[in-house]
Amino acid sequence: MAMRDDTAGIADNPFLAPSTLPYQLPPFAAIRTEHYLPAFEHGMAEQLAEIDAIAGAAEPPTFENTVVALERSGAVLDRVSKVFFNLVPSDGNAELEAIEAEISPRLAAHADAIHLNAGLFARLEDLYSRRDELGFDSESHRLLGRYHTRFVRAGARLTGAERDRLREINKQLAADASAFGQNVLADTNAAAPAMADADELDGLSADEVAAAAERADGSGGYVLALQNFSNQPLLATLNDREVRRRLLAASLGRGLETNAALVRRMARLRAERAALFGYESHAAYVVADRTARTPDAVADMLGRLVEPAVTNATREAEALTAALREDTGDPHAALHPADWRYYAERVRKAEYDVDSAALRPYLELDRVLFDGVFHAAGLVYGITLTERDDLVGYHPDVRVFEVSDADGRALGLFLADFFARPSKRGGAWMNELVSQSTLAGTQPVVVNNLNIARPPAGEPVLLTFDEVRTMFHEFGHALHGLFSDVSYPYFSGTAVPQDFVEFPSQVNEMWMVWPEVLANYARHRETGEPMPPELAERVLAAQRFGEGFRTVEYLGAALLDWAWHSLAVGADPGGVEDFEARALSAAGVAMDAVPPRYRTGYFQHIFSGNYSAGYYSYIWSEVLDADTVEWFKEDDGLTLREKGERFRHNLLARGGSVDALDAFRDVRGRAPDIAPLLARRGLGS
């Protein structure tokens, strides 16, 4: 690539030194595309030199000259990686994707060069063998243990041909993950169904029709954007049954051709890598370092949910089929997957008198953000957020907020990037741009990405209830990063086991329907009148409706992930669609009317993200979440703020510096109980 010869890429590269902006906010105004690759190359070379110096030191290993030195290494690489790997999914383009495709396998090789450095591991091994004699404080003791585990799980004890094969596998997997994500973005944009006639959009709001016309880019037609999950929100209101089928078919078909070969190879390579480490499958390898610990624990938990979830969903399907037959006048009409959301909306409206479209005027984005999300954080934790118009993000849509504690102490920065755009991959996520660490002297800078459809210019941004939930959820991740109070970057913020990381964000969803919070933000955009109490009550009652569907579609995705990653080394999964059908049938969740929340072709969590054999984490974390919500509601003599402080300081602030389930016990006073989850989802006996 020509940019390699651009010496300006290093001479004026903003990644080579810490940012001078408040909180070391990356200097986005100064960052250009040509800076990334030179910064990656410089950062990798610099860190390898640092690693060689640690490994080759003449002095005997100490915690300071080995573990702390390892924590301090790679500062340039860390800065460029955090910015780049947030930018690619949130505002990607062909140049950035080309860099991603090149640098991902090189970064995998770089990680291997560190983890497979025999001299470095020998020093860690020596310290680890004497860890109980050296008088470490608890966080330092845990840091040494985590590094030792990480190196072992990365292959430090492999030798010869096994090491060489591990390097090849990691390099190929990194390249495939990059390609998978890029394919999903391209397929999602290409598959968005086009309509020639506005009549086909009957049922959509005027704003939604106008947005579809804008996406058609002046062609005179309409384009329905796809979101990155199976059942599209517009299925709830499109009156034309054939259009609904077209929309769902476009959604479900993404990636089946472009990503099939990648998926098959990635599944086989992950199984082979697990076998190198002595595990029977990638799933077994992954959960060994999670709170679940064993595949049996995951299988047992998922298995307990399948039968009641399918029973509930079957009961819901019967009600929806009755509504369909009444609507069509056909006593034999069968419920199609594209009909589910449409008739669920009708049944919900009839049974609870809740019209999702009628809710939206009460859910204006800025009011939800300031008077809902931020207001709740103030009630529970005492913090305030102030918009900083003088600070800029990586895209004009990005807003920057300064976060202050109850005593006025500055905590960090929160960046909000809420709108969908063709350059953004689907879904919602939180990233850290700067991680908190007293060792590094840094405070957190975190970003939330959502995919809210932008209305026509001048129109208000009105949300669905699901989008409100997503805002609260992702801000829960942001709080986990913002409240971090650890010494070492290794443990900062959300650096916790994968099947624990969703727990704090799921807890934060509770505040969206907390009466004081809901009354504060759910106000009509034109009149300012609060949502009528009876409507709010019906909304809350309707939350239980559809739990069968939601649980089955989630379990479908979780069990697909588990099936792909339970393959033994050398096993041939066969064709993707056949594999899916067999896996869902074997797991007992093969309901024709309820597709998995993600099908294989666009399941970015597990094929381009870090959730392989880990999508179960959402429901595993929800066990902790539901139990914690019950605790927040209990009348035990503690005020809401007192409970917020306990949750913050005993769990959120600790990051990965303590055992995850010990942190839960420090809050709840006991081990987690699954009963509140079963009650929440209507899955009790």
Lookup: tokens for 304: 């307990």
Neighbour tally for 45: CB within 10 Å: 13
**C-alpha pair distances (Å), 391 with each of 24, 78, 286, 401:** 11, 21, 40, 9
Q: Which of 628, 662, 355, 634 is nearest to 510 (CA)?
A: 628
Tokens at 315, concatenated: 């009961």
* Amino acid present at 682: G
- From CA 311, how far away is CA 158, in angstroms rounded? 48
Bridge-based pairing of strands 429-434 and 445-452 is: antiparallel
Q: Judging by DSSP bridges, how do beta strands 429-434 and 410-419 pair with one another? A: unpaired
Q: 506 to each of 359, 630, 631, how far by Cα in Å?
A: 22, 13, 14
Nearest to 254 by CA among 318, 192, 326: 192
Radius of gyration of the chain (CA): 25
Q: At which residue do the structure tokens 């909304």 appear?
A: 539
Q: What is the largest CA-CA distance in the chain?
A: 85
Q: How far apart are CA 159 and CA 531, in angstroms?
A: 65
Q: Tell me how far apart the alpha carbons of residues 442 and 62 are, in angstroms, rounded to a whole number.
A: 24
**Cβ atoms 382, 406 nearer than 8 A:** yes
Strand, helix or coil at 670? coil
Would you say 414 and 388 are in contact if contact means Cβ atoms under 8 Å apart? Answer: no
Q: Which residues of 457-491 are buried (b: 16+ CB within 10 A; e: fewer)?
A: eeeebbbbbebbbbbbbbbbbbbbbbbbbbbbbbb
Residue in this structure with the two tokens 């990691």, named with its chain if needed: 170
Q: Which two tokens stand for residue 313?
A: 């969903």
Q: Is 200 a catalytic residue?
A: no
Q: Where in 113-196 does DSSP place strands (E)?
A: 194-195
How far, CA to CA in Å, does 188 sit from each of 88, 176, 254, 340, 397? 16, 18, 7, 22, 21
Residue 444 CA, chain-centre distance (Å), reads: 18
Q: Which of 474, 509, 580, 622 is catalytic?
A: 474
In sign, the C-alpha dihedral spanning 80, 86, 88, 92 is negative
The residue type found at 611 is Y
Which pair of structure tokens corresponds to residue 251?
Answer: 């959604």
Cα separation of 605 and 557, whole Å? 10
Instruction: Find out whether 540 and 515 touch, Cβ atoms under 8 Å.
Output: no
Coil vs helix vs strand at 247: helix
User: What distance in Å separates the CA atoms of residue 270 and residue 281, rounded to the nearest whole number?
Assistant: 8
Q: How far apart are CA 587 and CA 126, in angstroms?
A: 46
Catalytic residue numbers, as ranges: 474
